[in-house]
Structure 1
Amino acid sequence: MKQLLAIFLITISLSLFTDNLLFANSSTDILTLNEVVSEGGGHEAEHHLPSAWSVIPFVILLVMIATGPLFYEHFWHKNYPKVAVLLACIVIGYYIFVLHNTHGPIHAFFEYVQFIALLSSLYIASGGILIEIDKKGKPIINVILLFIGAIISNIIGTTGASMLLIRPFIRLNKSRIKPYHIIFFIFTVSNIGGSLTPIGDPPLFLGFLKGVPFSWTLTHNFFPWLFTVILFCAIFYFFDRRNKEINPLFADEPENYTSKIKVTGAKNFLWLGVVIAAVFLDPNVKGFEWVPSIPYDGQNFSFVRELIMFSVAFMSFKFASQEAIKGNEFNFEPIREVAFIFVGIFGTMMPALELVASFASSDAGRELISHNTLYWGTGFLSGFLDNAPTYLNFLTAAIAAQGGSINEKMDVVNFAYGMGDFTNSVVQLTAISVGAVFFGAMTYIGNGPNFMVKSIAEQIGIQMPSFFGYIIRFSLPILLPTLVIVWLIFFAFL
């Protein structure tokens, strides 16, 4: 982690230094900028788009994530931090020294810090809560736990709910645990469950920060959420009731269950509450302008919120119940793996996102924008890119296509409710929201909790499918048909 911190500090310092140097010498036209005169008379810097080849490091990273654990496991587990950081540095260097674009890397840096602060604080705080359910792992009990997890995901986020419940879920089924248990947990709790509130999933939170009303997601996403959660619970029940295999290690264990639920380390729920409260300390939200921030490129980047989250991570572990820590077999490897893998993803996906956003806002792109293309476009890219920036790029394009701006809060509000000059915008925003959250379950990297749940399961000893195995065995035959049904019912014929 010290290596990661050092790389971040070097990257941000270099970016800021280069940014100041370039703008100080703007008279030499070293930036090759196109000046766009705004209505207010100001000037806005527009950088050249990245070349198509700059997407190659991102593709290489995805391929290595997919093939590393399968074909060169020893090399991958030993060197994935170096690979991820090296590929990110290649793209960052290209942006800074070739495109003379420091804005992209700096924005990616801040977004990554926000991402890892939330995930690490929720992971560590929930690691100090031990939930023991003294029941036999029956299909109906599992279904109830999955449904409860889908509800909790909207209160403490998909990351919080996943980290809180994955270990109890595994322990409950220890005598008959299979990879499909973990996959359906990822589908239901780590992704689709968090569709009802901005707290539930990062894409919806970004929409809230831009102006989408807090209650909008509950009102418009409820029926797709309810239908899909129930459908997945039913499919899981079909799988689970056919599972009669008992782990030989537990074959002779007496079945004297008390049906009691014991919670150790409940004080860590208070730490989780602090994290959720800190989420709203954003200087860009009306009423919180007083929160100290770092102004850059027309935005105010929070650091108080992230300091609180990192402090919670430290304090919640330092004062955690040792019984809970040992009972959860808690260690830092899952969050370490996520930290390095996603520094690579955030660093290398910049060109892909920028090229997609550029096309979506072009004349050709605008002609293609409809609630159907937004559902599938946002969805498929959310499965392979991080779903939060994908959501934001497609929302930006959809609003711009009707003459609005995502940086104008009233435009966002009017777009959300189909008021003013916006038409068919309610279903478009619903398609973007549902697509970003639901399709995040397509791969291990579609949403942060996916990789963490996989890593925890593997730490315990469960043989999880590879990157491609996950897609071929579960996403394509189970998740994708479900998403097609969701599209047919809620979007296709509107």
Structure 2
Amino acid sequence: MKGSRIAAASLALACLLASASTALAAEQGLPGATMSLVWALPFAGLLLSIATGPLLYPHLWEQHYGKITAGWAALVVVPMALSFGFDISVEAVLHTLLLEYMSFIILLFALFTISGGILVAGNIQGTPLINAGLLVIGALLASVVGTTGASMIMIRPVIRANDNRPFNAHVIVFFIFLVSNIGGSLTPLGDPPLFVGFLRGVDFFWTTVHLWREALLVGGIVLAAFLAVDWHFHRRESGQPKVKDPTPHSKVRIRGLANIALLAGVIAAILMSASWKPGVAFSVYGVHVELQNLVRDAIILALAFVSLAVTRKEYRAANGFSWGPILEVAKLFAGIFVCIVPVIAILRAGLDGAFAPLVALVTGPGGKPDNLAYFWLTGVLSSFLDNAPTYLVFFELAGGDPQALMTTFATTLVAISAGAVFMGANTYIGNAPNFMVYAIARESGVRMPGFFGYMLWSSAMLIPTFLIAGFVFFA
């Protein structure tokens, strides 16, 4: 349950696929230009609580994390109502609940349910070359079914392949790097920020055409680093007593194939909501809920129930499927969605807001965009904030015109896209599947590094890679 609590936190960012077109709606009406950095403290406090709670005070956190989360959220909502009025505050909260939170719960429920019904049965020996092959397959799959779907499908086969190795945590760390993040950079379906760009007018295959070089270089360097690290540990293991394999080798088979079609249906529903604009909306306290989004959520929810009906229970049992992560994500990320409201409002104020020094860094001499700064600022913020709203902020700072960004300022858009997607791997909270993979691995007996231990890995392996990519493509 401890692991499922952490898994719950991670999956929430996947919801942004369902609400990307209105990701910043909650900040409308808030005077971001006059808000100080004090408004960002509850968000920072909540993130710090999530990072340190399971490590420093695990028993207290396990029993009261919902109350702690609600407390941080209250430190945003109550002062916001007192400072800006009841109406603006209620509208902001309802925007979050109706346009983002409900859609994310539905999409998350569907992705978790459907992907959890796809079982890659059987087992193979996790040698360095086999592990590298599994990571490549997962990374390619991520751009088709999304980083969350690919992570859920591939993580347990990777764990089984290495469950008889005394040193196996590094395999999961690199899995998060490649499958849960970098691999989702080739299509708008791969990662929420890219889908945000698609909804804003960026052509579907623009991402594939313009980001494959960056993805190939970054992914290639990280994969090479993995092979070096895995060979090192593999050689160390050869001199140690053999560990009995808890999952003996057997032929690999894919079960629950009907769920693949259901995943395709989820993707089709998302694309439908992006292209079908009937112009019908329902107003709830000033919040306009559009018909296409309601239809999308209904279809996605129906597909999830179809998966529950047609998937054999033993497949889910073999995947270690449980409802814990879904039930607990409601508490953790309800707080995150509320606490991030003033942060995004300040960022949207640009040079007029409290984050003006950061905004000024993306402007070069003569007012031209500093692409290297766009890459790093988008990436660093995406390591700790929701990467889709962060993408939108810098998308708007770069002009917000998709035609100009796809042509004249194509390098700027590539820098924003690459930073948002790649650097989600820098922390456990940087992208949807990161904590999910961490939790599943912990529950399976893998001795995973903690929050800051993981950042040591990412600092050693990813930051040098990003420095190289920044120099090659954006300097």
TM-score calculated relative to the size of structure 2: 0.83
Q: What is the SS of the residue equivalent to 1:214?
A: coil
Mapped partners of 2:241, 2:315: distance in 1: 24
Letter in 2 for 1:290: P
Compute the TM-score of the two structures, normalised by the length of structure 1: 0.80
Tell me the equivalent position of 2:376: 376
Number of the residue aligned with 1:164: 153
Q: Post-superposition shift, 1:490?
A: 1.0
Q: Is the 8 A contact 1:65 1:467 kept in 2?
A: no
**Displacement of 1:349:** 1.5
Distance in 1 separating the partners of 2:208 and 2:371: 19
Q: Give the residue type in structure 2 aligned to 1:271.
A: L
Alpha-carbon distance in 2 for matches of 1:178, 1:319: 34
Matched with 1:413 is 403
Give the residue type in structure 2 aligned to 1:228.
Answer: V
Query: In the alignment, is the contact (CA less than 8 A) between 1:293 and 1:304 conserved in 2?
Result: no
Instruction: Tell me what 2:390 maps to.
Output: 390
Q: Which runs of 5+ in 1 are unaligned?
A: 5-43, 400-405, 419-424
C-alpha separation between the residues in 2 aligned to 1:161 and 1:481? 26
1:90 corresponds to which of 65, 75, 82 = 75
CA distance in 1, matches of 2:463, 2:351: 24
CA distance in 1, matches of 2:217, 2:45: 37
Change (3 A) 1:315 1:82: farther
| Aligned counterparts of 1:240 and 1:92: Cα–Cα separation in 2 | 48
Cα distance in 1 for residues equivalent to 2:123 and 2:52:
38
- Write out per-residue CA displacement over residues 440-483 of structure 1, whole angstroms, 9 at most, x where no aligned residue: 11111111111111121222222322211211x21211111111
Match of 1:37 in 2: none
Structure whose alpha-carbon radius of gyration is higher? 1
> What is the match of residue 342 of structure 2?
351
Question: Where in structure 2 are the equivalents of 1:164-203 lying within 5 Å?
Answer: 164-176=153-165, 178-203=168-193
Of 107-116 and 121-130, more deviation after overlay is shown by 107-116
Question: What fraction of aligned residue pairs are identical, expressed as a percent?
Answer: 40
The Cα shift of 1:394 comes to: 0.8
- Alignment gaps of 5+ in structure 2: 1-7, 9-27, 364-369
The separation in 2 between residues aligned to 1:144 and 1:85, in whole angstroms, is: 43
Residue 436 (str. 1) matches residue 417 (str. 2): no
Give secondary structure in 2 for the equivalent of 1:242: helix
Structure with the larger RCO, 1 or 2 (CA within 8 Å, 6+ apart): 2
1:289 is matched with 277
Alpha-carbon displacement from aligned partner over 1:417-445 (angstroms, at most 9, x marks no partner): 22xxxxxx111111000000011111111
The separation in 2 between residues aligned to 1:83 and 1:281, in whole angstroms, is 38
CA contact (8 A) 1:334 1:456 kept: no
* Shift, 1:149, TM fit: 1.0
- Equivalent in 258, 261, 264 of residue 252 of structure 2: 261
Residue 484 of structure 1 is matched in structure 2 by: 467
- How far the C-alpha of 1:338 sits from its partner, in A, is 3.6
Residue 349 of structure 2 aligns to a residue whose secondary structure is helix
Aligned to 1:104, which of 89, 92, 99? 92
The structure richer in helix per residue is 2
Q: How many residues align?
A: 429
Paired residue secondary structure (1:280):
helix
Q: Which residue of 1 aligns with 2:243?
A: 251
1:455 and 2:446 aligned: no
Supply the RMSD in Å over aligned alpha carbons: 2.7
Candidates 332, 336, 339, aligned match of 2:327: 336
Shift of 1:292: 5.6
Cα separation, partners in 2 of 1:481 and 1:315, compared to 1, 3 Å = same
Query: Is 1:446 the equivalent of 2:430?
Result: yes
Superposed, which structure 2 residues align to 1:45-60 within 5 Å?
A: 47=31, 49-60=34-45
Structure-2 separation of matches of 1:249 and 1:311: 51
Mark the CA change 1:139 to 1:207 in structure 2 (over 3 Å): closer, same or farther. same
Q: 1:126-141 alignment to 2 at 5 Å? A: 126-141=115-130
Q: 1:133-152, CA deviations, whole angstroms, 9 ceiling, x for partnerless residues?
A: 43211111111111111111
**AA of the residue aligned to 1:457:** A
Distance in 2, Cα, partners of 1:367 & 1:137: 45
2:221 to 228, 231, 250: 231
